[in-house]
Structure 1
């Protein structure tokens, strides 16, 4: 029987040279001494794979990373060394505090020094130095907070002064979006003015009404849309799709169109939903449900490129042609103002 040869891939093992880690550390320290920080970092990284808890290589790697400007990586390595107790504790702490200073993280710097002093971990000869660093950190934290507060006040003042007036459509949308995550009550005067402004776009007024309703805004307001005026208490308004006018027209369109022409039904339903959003919280048609359903039917066929007969559709819904014609004209006017927004 022949002997089985050895040397296949599965038999190969990587055996590091004796004291390779020590040699890599020595070369890394030499590179540090000549300020070749990139080469030093590479050598220390290689050594760390072999001796991950060697103090000299870890501190050398931190110093290299700091000199290269890799502060985040150096910070994480310092935290690891402090947690594991690797290297000279106060040497690592001092490097860590310097990194935090470079990263402008005075809050973390202050809390670290406070913890050291509270736990009496600072040698007597270094207490004064650490206390001075703590005072500096606290002043920096206080100054940053002062600047943040001043910026918030400036932003709030600007927000208050021109909340809803003199803004583009995009700016209005952003402002109203912000109000959805804020308490809108302090801005009731600006909201009242916007609701009463006949030039205000119905789309934005509806967005704002919904926000106030969700926030249970119980203050009485007057709102103007399409030449109509109405006094509302947002908290007491029903949801848009619970409106009887909307639901009855939807029901009529579904009955007449869904089975015979699903595409036409979808188009008519989409128009109704968009217009109802613009009208909310108004009920534009009283109980003229058939006339409005006929108008949406007619307009949808027209949008599909057909030439529908207004009289035939009106007769189908058992209503007057002239009444349907007026509603169709009204819907076309609404379409002209709704397309830029919705």
Structure 2
């Protein structure tokens, strides 16, 4: 349910501090100033925050979502974006407070918000609260069809941890008494990765990223060849690479299956797809129309995340495709491209139509 406005024209905002227009009352000798929010500023900040999340610039994302929140504190996507950026920065209690407020004020689709709340509780190791929430959901028959099994597994896991006395029951004021969180069992990970929503899968992978993932390498490598969201597969590969897992794996994306050695892969931000298209578009657009260049590169970065680590041929053709799409958004008429470029443009549009599970 988190999506981006497609091909929206970006607007330059001169004031970096307030990002508002200040209009002076010329009729008053006191020169009182009336501050008027820039139209759609909150949604522009939301879009920028989403882009920062995709690029793993989580501090920047939190700042952008925070600014948007000040303008539209009841907006569902802004609240969730802010909560998720806080999660990525390890500020779980702050994220929990945001989601608690959403539930209290009825912001967003109820079960979706509850889902995020449960995943934050999992990160906090607050299994008693997980038990309370899940049992209430099951008793009140508020669980959508197809979600019962994964919640039952989460409930069973939390009960097991509480029964073992391993729950985090220390005061934040006395961190020296912190009990090490027990490792999640492979079967529990498998259930969430197989049956959970995209958001639940993302939270589970995020949880694993902070641990030694070698006990689950086999499970994660299997995930790469299953029918899963390409963003989540990229995230999985990034986790494996960051922990220097030296293993040859198969990756299935968009109907292609490739074999790669994880340690030999470039990081997501340094692919040929990204660097080559960036160079072509920069030479063509940056001086003449920097806003078009920025908008085109936002698309390229999103699609690079989805396509990683596929070897995409004809990058000049892809650069031409991105150029034509942003030109069309600006009402610039170009002569009809050949069939080869038309095929690439269709692929780009298909990628642009995909949602990301991060937000």
Q: TM-score, with normalisation over the residues of structure 1? A: 0.50
Instruction: Report which of the two structures shows the higher radius of gyration computed on alpha carbons.
Output: 1
Q: TM-score, with normalisation over the residues of structure 2? A: 0.48
Higher RCO (CA-CA < 8 Å; seq separation 6+) = 2
